[in-house]
Structure 1
């Protein structure tokens, strides 16, 4: 055997962790305080897209508008679940990892703290002059009297032969643990709300009503433990909607306030009551909250087909295209029209004004001079009866649109229709009449049983972090010998030595004062 082979054989071999060792390492890493803080930061960071990108559960109309304006980008957003951040797979993964990390942090620290609470203060050091804070007291102070005075200052006291040991500030670690428990409580409350709560969105036009049933929602997101019978059986009718806008100045057209006036039935047999629904002032019925989150226009149209029959009549909710002026795009479908189905692409102008180039635009979001532009009229099979779902804001899918026949009404763009005016289609195909203007509102209806527990846990976390930051863990020792007393003190909290100096001086004054003053 050569020297190199001998050295290689005698060299220390690196120990292998094995499966159990790797699992133990992963668990210790996951349950460390550093990992918990990183996960908490990641959870906050992951919530940012939920504030910047419109969410389907809150603003479905804005999501639809985003698809119209940026179709390619919207598809990528949908692939990574940016339109549903708080129900996405990656957000849930961070959430569950943080939950596991907090549980792993809290349990061992709680056991350690319980042992610490039962432990008595240690004996006083022999040489108190080596402590960060030190003082000498002349007089007839005894160990028993020093212990009594320290107890009055709410110290935990331990005595011995000529010495006193006192400790204070246990609530600091209590606040630290309570903060982590409260944070865990917030996560549990959110989980309970996700399991037993639900939320949904609905669009309601003036004059229409809503009953809290699954079928009435435009979008319904139930928890895993929610059934159709879980919904609170209330209903309401939208009697009126009013919005006010800034009429002068640089902020002309800016929304000042808007309210929806409802007629509410709290239960099927309950009498109706009036309620004014405003932003951030939800309607609450037995824990179910109804929020007003948006509004727009729903012009009323009447479509008469080539045989003189009314093929469509009613309000049409329009998708907002320009928020400052509420210029909106509308789609009217008349699949029952004869001899051919009719489809209309329209633009609603709340305050229509002519421009120098001959076109028209809206100058104000209020319905001061409402008019409707006819952008296109098509005849043919709209694909409504194909069985495939269609958007109310889209006339037809691209492959269907290519098969439709444009009904050309001359080379000149027709003048916008005012209320009461109508447009006759060529070749006796039919006519479109603009009969009035209504408004629609979008509502989010939510039931979250974890809402109050989450609020309570959040309040507890604030109190706990205040305790953790404001309270210092400190010790005071007294040794009495030959009519002379020595006092020493130290803190067990980093960075609090300067703050303890003044308190230590006050403690020395109490110990050196006479019995009458001490009381």
Structure 2
């Protein structure tokens, strides 16, 4: 929380969200005061060139000696914030989307937003005075939680597909796979050789194989001869 008192004595307090950038919860953010330095004699109109903002680097546990570039511990044992003051046009009235954690760098580059003074480290309760007599004070921090809500209508479809694929895999593992081969030597009498191979242990494969061979034999006996003549009925040999 940062309180800014402008050159006309008007105080404003903002609770700015800071984004942590390392494991020690060193965080960066911006405290903007677009309604600062409004001259009461001017009818309360906002002066776009007198707006104020502060870039900040928050340290939950600031070191005792500089450089104050990162926190030395993630808990708030000695909280402090390093502030860089800017004055000018913040570019908030342009209608261009921007980050709440950073100043509009385009305003800085074109000179419409200028840095004021040097960076100053403020601990809780300390103040900094700017060149126009205005002051900024670090009041402390306020804990907050970030919640993320997401709705994905395709999740159930993906889940159903994954479950169906898993069930198919399980069924393929429990299925009784077997192969049956036939080799036929044609001539005046045909020789049919049959063989079978169960891919898994299956006690009933022998009976299934026998029934399959018998069915093939019945079809072979009733089928017409290839040359259109009479078929000579002979018993073929079947090998397993």
CA-to-aligned-CA distance 1:392-421 (integer Å, 9 cap, x gap)? 122123244433232225xxx53x212222
CA-to-aligned-CA distance 1:160-206 (integer Å, 9 cap, x gap)? xxxxxxxxxxxxxxxxxxxxxxxxxxxxxxxxxxxxxxxxxxxxxxx
Unaligned runs of 5+ in 2: 39-49, 182-193, 210-240
Task: Give the direction of change, closer, same or farther, for the CA distance of 1:450–1:386 in structure 2 (3 Å limit).
Answer: closer
Asked if 2 retains the 8 angstrom alpha-carbon contact of 1:332 and 1:395, the reply is no
Secondary structure of the corresponding residue to residue 166 of structure 2: helix
Query: After the TM superposition, which residues 87-486 of structure 1 pair with which residues of structure 2 at under 5 Å, given as runs?
Result: 300-310=1-11, 312-322=12-22, 324-338=23-37, 340-355=50-65, 358-360=66-68, 361-374=70-83, 376-401=84-109, 402-408=111-117, 414=120, 416-428=121-133, 430-474=134-178
Structure 2 Cα separation of the partners of residues 419 and 450 of structure 1: 49
Deviation for aligned residue 1:455 = 1.9
Task: Give the direction of change, closer, same or farther, for the CA distance of 1:463–1:510 in structure 2 (3 Å limit).
Answer: closer
Structure 2 Cα separation of the partners of residues 449 and 489 of structure 1: 52
Aligned residues, how many?
A: 186
Structure 1 Cα separation of the partners of residues 74 and 33 of structure 2: 28
Structure 2 Cα separation of the partners of residues 362 and 386 of structure 1: 35
Secondary structure of the corresponding residue to residue 423 of structure 1: strand
Cα RMSD (Å) = 3.0
Structure 2 Cα separation of the partners of residues 395 and 303 of structure 1: 17
Structure 2 Cα separation of the partners of residues 450 and 379 of structure 1: 49
Secondary structure of the corresponding residue to residue 365 of structure 1: coil
Task: Give the direction of change, closer, same or farther, for the CA distance of 1:463–1:489 in structure 2 (3 Å limit).
Answer: farther
Structure 1 Cα separation of the partners of residues 107 and 137 of structure 2: 29
Structure 2 Cα separation of the partners of residues 399 and 334 of structure 1: 15
Deviation for aligned residue 1:454 = 2.8
Structure 2 Cα separation of the partners of residues 334 and 489 of structure 1: 89
TM-score, with length taken from structure 2 = 0.66
Deviation for aligned residue 1:385 = 1.7
Deviation for aligned residue 1:390 = 2.5
Structure 1 Cα separation of the partners of residues 91 and 180 of structure 2: 85
Q: Does 1:490 align with 2:202?
A: no
Task: Give the direction of change, closer, same or farther, for the CA distance of 1:454–1:464 in structure 2 (3 Å limit).
Answer: same
Asked if 2 retains the 8 angstrom alpha-carbon contact of 1:351 and 1:370, the reply is yes
Unaligned runs of 5+ in 1: 1-299, 478-487, 492-496, 512-519
Structure 2 Cα separation of the partners of residues 363 and 435 of structure 1: 21
Q: Which of the pair has more CA radius of gyration?
A: 2
TM-score, with length taken from structure 1 = 0.32
CA-to-aligned-CA distance 1:418-437 (integer Å, 9 cap, x gap)? 22222121231x11111121
CA-to-aligned-CA distance 1:274-312 (integer Å, 9 cap, x gap)? xxxxxxxxxxxxxxxxxxxxxxxxxx11111110112x3
Task: Give the direction of change, closer, same or farther, for the CA distance of 1:381–1:507 in structure 2 (3 Å limit).
Answer: closer
Asked if 2 retains the 8 angstrom alpha-carbon contact of 1:349 and 1:370, the reply is yes
By percentage of residues, which structure has more helix?
Answer: 1
Asked if 2 retains the 8 angstrom alpha-carbon contact of 1:348 and 1:370, the reply is yes
Task: Give the direction of change, closer, same or farther, for the CA distance of 1:424–1:468 in structure 2 (3 Å limit).
Answer: same
